[in-house]
Amino acid sequence: MPRFVDTSPPGVCIFCRIARGELPAARVFEDDLTMAFMDIGQVNPGHVLVATKRHAATLFDITPEEGAAVMRTVQRVAAAIGDTFDPPGLTLLQANGKEGDQTVFHFHMHVLPRHADDGVGLSWPRKEPGMEALHAYALKLAGALRAE
């Protein structure tokens, strides 16, 4: 899959430059914390990115308020995509870190209209480690959540 990877440092990344109006973008919506614009790659017509206005690289760098604001904007944009493009399906995709397939290191979520046989795929290699392993994972996570 041909990929664009933005390697510019924080504060001058392409989404920060879009937020400041220094780079052109087909803007859809903005509020105090978020901005929505057309993905230049347009996997399907109506493909929108919702990003934080403030530079934050990943899910682990945004505030709970920014996370809630992004989801509010995503839901509004998704409804508008439904009204405008009427796709039979819609996928949200949010990637963190190089290994998580993130290519622009400024928090964003893809709002992607979907169609039958549109060529979009996500490999999902099921491992099914068994209930004993699942309970052990759950215990570790529950402990980490209690410690917060």
Catalytic residue of the set 108, 110, 115, 135:
108
Residue 108 annotated among the catalytic residues of the structure:
yes
What x-and-dash track marks residues 2-21 binding Zn ion by CB under 5 A? Answer: -----------x-xx-----
Give the separation between CA 34 and CA 22, rounded to whole angstroms: 17
10 Å Cβ neighbour count for 33?
18
Restricted to residues 89-108, the positions that interact with Zn ion (CB under 5 A) are 106
What order of strands is seen across the sheet that includes strand 48-52? 27-30, 34-38, 48-52, 108-114, 89-93
**Residue placing its CB nearer to Zn ion in the complex, 16 or 78:** 16
Q: What is the amino acid identity at position 30?
A: E
By rule CB under 5 A, what count of residues binds Zn ion? 5
**Residue placing its CB nearer to Zn ion in the complex, 47 or 55:** 55
